[in-house]
Amino acid sequence: MSRSPEQLKTQILQLTREYSALVHQANQPGSKASAAHCPFIPGQTLVPYAGRVFTEDEVTAAVSSTLDFWLTLGPEGDAFESELGSFLGVKRCVLVNSGSSANLVALSALTSSKLGERQLRPGDEVITVAAGFPTTVAPILQNGCVPVFIDNDPSTLNGRVDQLQSAFLPGKTKAVMMAHTLGNPFDLAATTQFCRRHNLWLIEDNCDALGSRYDGHHTGTFGDLSTQSFYPPHHLTMGEGGAVNVVRDMKLKVLVESFRDWGRDCWCASGKDNTCHKRFGWQLGELPEGYDHKYIYSHLGYNLKPLDPQAAIGRQQLKKLPQFIQARVDNWNSLRTALADLEEFIQFQLPTHAAGWTPNGFTWDDSGHRADCSWFGFMMLVKHNAPFTRREFAQALDAAKIGCRMLFGGNLVRQPAFTTLKRQQPSAFRVIGDLPGADRIMNEALFVGTYPGLTPEMLAYMAETIRTFVLKH
């Protein structure tokens, strides 16, 4: 008996769910993975610092979208952009193929001549932070602008906002671009006030901080633009992928989409024509009047779209995001409580505006502001008086099969790319002070995981291994 395409698809997706439930048990959220009897053998089973966490929902959604074979960004992408925008409370989200591309597109959008006097031009300065991930900074240089590095606070890992004014040059400084490090919001009260006072653009790199809040509002909603990453270690994953969040001003959406989509002037979605109802009625540049608007280019852009099956995965991940965020908070608290007596030799990260930590929670400064972290990782700094080095600490964790990472590129101005750039082009970037905080992070910091795939057994093993290493010294 012949079956209809709908019946075949239903059968394929049911088999896909069964297959995924059997094969991908280890990728379930931590509590479910533990309940599924995925064996954890201390010292033998790898404890990653991060990884993919998913159920059969994501696998089925990816297969369903692939069977439809739209492939390029389409209906699933439209839905995901809308749903992510609603979650954050921003005007619009624009999907791209990575968090690094999101940073590139966001900064590039501000170089558009359509912004008039506020256009970023070659030689304009953008304030950023010394220690972090390189692609927060690279787009500044790639667009011919000058990054100005302020130092990091080793306690929060974020930029020292008390240096913003020192970094400012009237007529030269045009923007601020900083990350919420490891899910810890930077001081948004001071930064937004500074940007308003000097009429500066603000780009929040929110790639490590989806779900974090500052004074009750999601990070990624305070600046003009913000960025997300959906790489597997991040708060939700599409395999590869990212987004630019247009917070308030929808004219920026058109610019973001233009730089993402080859630099074109047309704003039609893929597969659609004549959204403006005057496709053959434009005269721009020195082109003849009536030249096809779909092939008019206002910017020197890129092609940085993800695929629609990726967005289908992201939509299922987004449904799980609240529980993912809570798991990150719970896992961070579990490690912090278990390691509370190691403060003689280990300095632990604090949320911005926190004055300290107690078993009952954080204590706060008198600023009146609060940061609620959707932790990307659990950061530890080896203090100067410790009888062991960060390198020895990292080697011990590695030998115990516990994944750990430095704070990405450390002090970026010490990286080969930047030392070479400084030697060949001394005016390529500026540095405020000697960057002692960024150097300390570079030399002393490492972090372990808080991601939702960690089981209680893994967390207990991590804490026990760290305690044993520290106390034996």
Catalytic residues: 234
Identify the burial level of 172 via C-beta atoms within 10 angstroms of its C-beta, where 0-12 means exposed, 13-18 middle and 19 or more buried.
Answer: middle
| Sheet with strand 125-129: strands edge to edge | 92-96, 242-246, 225-229, 201-205, 173-179, 125-129, 146-150, 430-431
Following DSSP, what letter does each residue of 256-291 receive, concatenated?
HHHHHBTTBS--PPTT---TTS-TT----TTSPTT-
Widest CA span of the chain, in angstroms? Answer: 78
- Give every CB contact of residue 303 below 8 A, 6+ residues apart in sequence: 260, 261, 262
Helix (H) or strand (E) holding 382: strand 377-382
105, 114 Cβ separation under 8 angstroms = no
Of 326, 335, 338, 329, the closest CA to residue 447 belongs to 335
Q: What are phi and psi of 460, to 5 degrees?
A: -65, -40
Residue 236's nearest CA partner among 21, 25, 80 is 80
Which residues on neighbouring strands pair with residue 379, listed in sequence order? Answer: 447
Q: How far apart are alpha carbons 25 and 41 in whole angstroms?
A: 16
Tokens representing residue 280 in the block: 């053959």
Contacts of 389 (CB under 8 A, 6+ apart): 382
Which tokens sit at 373?
A: 């972290």
Q: Would you state the structure tokens that stand for residue 67, as one six-digit string?
A: 């069977």
Other Cβ atoms within 10 Å of 279 Cβ, number: 16
For 433-453, the DSSP string reads TT-HHHHHHHHHEEEEE--TT
Contact 111, 120 (CB under 8 A): yes
Contacts of 366 (CB under 8 A, 6+ apart): none
